[in-house]
Amino acid sequence: MNRKYLGNISLKIVTLILALVVWFYIVGELNEYPFSDEMLKINFSNPLITKVVPIQLNMVGTPPGGFKIDQSKVEFSPKELVMIGPKKLLERIQYIKTVPIDLKEYSKSNNITAALEPVFGARPSREGLIEIKIPVEKAE
């Protein structure tokens, strides 16, 4: 019976020492970062708000030779979007642009879908895709 408890005594001592080392380490870490009610407080110094922001098309380039696009006839929907973000950030945003739309690719009228350029720290209230109707005419 005595042999049953004393067998592999060296492994049992090493295991006990390792358990004590881990225990002291964990207690030390918990004391280094004490938990308090301060950790549970939420910072409302920069609250989230919503703002209606107009959308601006970002068209680059010109159509191929012999074609033109009358910017006043370009239609898109929606014209504005509700953005959600910190008050300080949204106060500075005047408009939101689409990703660049390369007009060199269009030799006939097209209906396209374009994404919005991301705004770091804010997000649109709905999917940020814009439907755009680009009328292409023959140049005179």
How far apart CA 17 and CA 84 sit, in angstroms, is 54
pLDDT mean across residues, the chain: 83
Whether the CB-CB separation of 75 and 132 falls below 8 Å is answered with yes
**Which pLDDT belongs to residue 21?**
93
State pLDDT tens for residues 87-137. Answer: 888 889 999 999 998 888 888 888 989 999 988 888 888 787 899 898 888
CA-angle at 79, arms to 92 and 46, nearest 5°: 25
